[in-house]
Amino acid sequence: MTVFPADDEGLAINCREISDQIRSREHLKHQEARFRSLIEALDRCGLGLGDRRGSYLVASVSNGP
């Protein structure tokens, strides 16, 4: 682990922590892209969920009429 010298306020910058944060953000962007693809696919099936940004998708499946 590489630690750079402290800045004027005495805070050290931890490269590993920054790297982990970048990877986490990249993972979230990837998950968001996958979720958007799912919503678009559901829209193409006529479910019309694309306009509900920020809400949760809840589905219920039954075995009969």
pLDDT at 57: 52
Please give the average per-residue pLDDT across 45-58, as a whole number: 58
Task: Judge whether 2 and 13 are in contact, CB under 8 Å.
Answer: no
What's the pTM?
A: 0.46
pLDDT per residue as tens digits for the range 23-46: 888 888 888 888 888 888 887 887
Structural domain of residue 6, as residue ranges?
1-65
Neighbours of 28 (CB within 10 A): 10
Q: What is the pLDDT of residue 52?
A: 53
Residue 3's pLDDT band (cuts 50, 70, 90): low
Average pLDDT over residues 8-26: 72
Number of structural domains, the chain? 1
Sign for the pseudo-dihedral over CA of 44, 45, 47, 52: negative
